[in-house]
A and B are shown apart, each in its own frame.
Chain A
Amino acid sequence: MHNRIKELRARYNLTQDDLANKVKVRRETIVFLEKGKYNPSLKLAHDIAVTFDSKIEDVFLFGDEIPGSQ
C-alpha cells in the first residue's frame, strides 16, 4: 500500500506534529505511515482522509493504483 500523506501534508502546510494532533496519534505513527512502514486502521485512514478533505482512496493507493506499478 502506498500513500500520499507527505504530499498532502505539504499542500495543506501541516507539520507531522500538526497532523498527529488532528488525528490523535503520536508523531511517530505519522512518520511510520509516510515511510510506508505501517498500514493504518480503517478509522485512522478515515480520519487522515477527512483532515485532507479527501476520500480514503485518494490518500491511500492500493496495488495497480500505485504510480509506476505494473
Chain B
Amino acid sequence: MKKSWLAILISAMVLVTTILWLMNTKKPLSIPEISQYGVILVLVGLGVYVGISRLKSEKRGEPPEDELSKKILQKASSTAYYISLYMWLALAYMIDTQKLETHTVIGTGILGMAILFAVCWFFYKVRGMKDA
C-alpha cells in the first residue's frame, strides 16, 4: 500500500515543482522548454497510472508486485541504462557541434533517461518476458 501511494506522491511532487517552476519563469517559453514540460507531464501521468493500477490490484487482493512485474522492472531498467549510454554519447557529440549549454544537456539527458525507461517498461509490459 505504501509503495502505491509513494508513486502517486512523487508524481504529485514533480507536478507541483513543475508548476512552481512554470509560474516563476518570466520570459516566454521556447519550443524546447515546452517540449520539456510536455515530457514531464507524460512521466507524471505514467507515475499516477502505475500508482493507481497498484492500488486497484491491492483492492482485488492481488499482490502489488510479483515475479513478472519485478522482472519487467529489472529488464526495463537495464535496457534503458544500456541505451542511455548511447544517448549521452550523442549529447556529448552535440555539445561540440551544436554549442549547447551545460544545463540544457543535463536536463535533456535526465529527461531522456526517464523517457527511455518509460518506453522500455511499456515495451516489456506488452511483449512479455519469454526470454527471461
Residues of A within 8 A of B (CB): 17, 20-21, 24-29, 32, 35-41, 44
Contacts and interface: CB of A to CB of B under 8 A. Distances in A.
8 contacts: A20-B62, A21-B61, A25-B68, A26-B57, A26-B65, A26-B66, A38-B68, A44-B67
A5 to B, nearest CB: 14
A38 B66 contact: no
Majority secondary structure of chain B interface residues (helix, strand, loop or mixed) = loop
A38 to B, nearest CB: 5
B130 interface: yes
A26 B132 contact: no
A24 B61 CA distance: 9
Contacts of A29: 66-69
Given A37-B127, A37-B129, A39-B132, A21 B62 contact: yes
Contact of A39 (B60, B65, B69, B129): B129
Contacts of B62: 20-21, 25-27
Contacts of B129: 32, 37-39
Contacts of A28: 68-69
Given A24-B63, A26-B57, A26-B62, A32 B69 contact: no
Interface in B34-79: 57, 60-63, 65-69
Interface in B117-132: 127-132
A38 B132 contact: yes
Contacts of A35: 128
B90 to A, nearest CB: 32
A38 B132 CA distance: 8
A33 to B, nearest CB: 9
Contacts of B67: 25, 29, 40-41, 44
